């Protein structure tokens, strides 16, 4: 790999790695500061930037400890389970996304995304039913009344 590709990749350090970096830097430090070259050496050793090592050094010097922040993203729901739940819904509750989302107790945007990705198939409903002959005639008469 070339150096530009490795420079853009992120690497998360664990608690033990941060503690070992701080321990090495503190053992080699002079007057409370790491020696010249030690920061870049640790950065190369762990495959992170020198700024990351500097951040580890300052956090360790504060004495608050090293907590690794774990992302709290939701686990993705299984598509098969969702398809099964949707197939069990009565037809009236499949008519539009709003009622389907309310029945399944999930966000409308999630359902929309599933439809867009093709994971769920839309059930087309006729929200406006076919007009009867009488209604067609009445509509035409109403429209023609404005033309005269």
Give the C-alpha separation, 111 to 86, whole Å. 10
Shared domain check, 54 and 13: yes
Q: Which pLDDT tens digit goes with each residue over 21-39?
A: 988 998 988 888 888 999 9
CB atoms within 10 A of CB 111: 19
Q: Are residues 57 and 87 in the same domain?
A: no
105 in any annotated domain: yes
Residue at 16 is within a domain: yes
In a domain, 67, yes or no: no
Q: At what angle do helices 15-28 and 50-62 cross, to 10 degrees?
A: 80
Q: Are 8 and 33 contained in the same domain? A: yes
For residue 132, being part of any structural domain is answered with no
9/55 same-domain check? yes
Query: What pLDDT, in 10s, does the model give residues 80-131?
Result: 888 899 989 888 888 888 999 999 999 999 999 999 988 888 766 555 667 7
Share of the chain above pLDDT 90, in %: 26
Number of independent structural domains in the chain: 2
Q: Are residues 56 and 12 in the same domain?
A: yes
Q: Each residue of 2-38: b (16+ CB within 10 Å) or e? A: eeeeeeeeeeebeeebbebbbeebeeeeeeeebeeeb
Look at residue 133 and tell me if it is in a domain. Answer: no
CB contact set of 68 (below 8 Å; sequence gap of 6+): 12, 13, 14, 15, 18
Residue-level pLDDT at 137: 93
* Domain span at 20: 3-62
110 within some domain: yes
Whether 70 is covered by a domain: the verdict is no
Query: How many helices and strands in the chain, by DSSP H and E?
Result: 8, 0
Query: Is 15 inside any structural domain?
Result: yes
């Amino acid at each position: 790999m070339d150096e530009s590709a490795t420079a853009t990749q992120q690497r998360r350090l664990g608690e033990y790695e941060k503690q070992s970096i701080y321990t090495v830097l503190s053992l080699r430090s002079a007057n409370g500061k790491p020696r010249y070259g030690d920061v870049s050496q640790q950065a190369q050793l762990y495959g992170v930037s020198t700024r990351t090592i500097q951040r580890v050094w300052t956090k360790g010097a504060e004495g608050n400890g090293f907590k690794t922040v774990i992302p709290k993203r939701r686990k993705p729901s299984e598509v098969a389970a969702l398809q099964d739940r949707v197939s069990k819904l009565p037809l009236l509750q499949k008519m539009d996304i709003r009622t389907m989302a309310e029945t399944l107790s999930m966000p409308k945007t999630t359902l929309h995304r599933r439809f867009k990705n093709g994971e769920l198939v839309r059930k087309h409903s006729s929200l406006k039913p076919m007009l009867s002959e009488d209604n067609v005639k009445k509509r035409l008469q109403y429209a023609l009344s404005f033309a005269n």
